Amino acid sequence: MPRYMVERSFPHGLSIPQNADGAKACLGVVERNATEGVTWVHSYVTPDKKHTFCIYDAPSPEAIRTVAQRNQLPVDTITEVSVLDPYFYRG
């Protein structure tokens, strides 16, 4: 399955409470993603919480856009990526 990096902008900052409500919100995203075969691997968040870089396994960019809309999440760009492991080159 292809892997993608999804860049998102949150002009007012991303706010996910670190409690049961936040956990419930994240699990809801995971469940809605699964309906299109999309798996949220992990995300990186900038210190100001205004940008995220999210890694997904998904059948297509369209599937990511579909679930982003369902999850009411913005999408700036979707880029297909692969892993470059610097330790692969060790002898």
10 falls within a domain: yes
| CATH code for position 24 | 3.30.70.3090
**Cα 25 from Cα 30, distance rounded (Å):** 9
**Cα 46 from Cα 35, distance rounded (Å):** 28
pLDDT in tens, 49-90: 999 999 999 999 999 999 999 999 999 999 999 999 888 877
The DSSP call for residue 88 is G
On whether the CB atoms of residues 50 and 11 are closer than 8 A, the answer is yes
What pLDDT is attached to residue 91? Answer: 66
On whether the CB atoms of residues 77 and 6 are closer than 8 A, the answer is yes
What is the count of structural domains for the chain? 1
Range of 43's domain? 3-83
89 falls within a domain: no
60 falls within a domain: yes
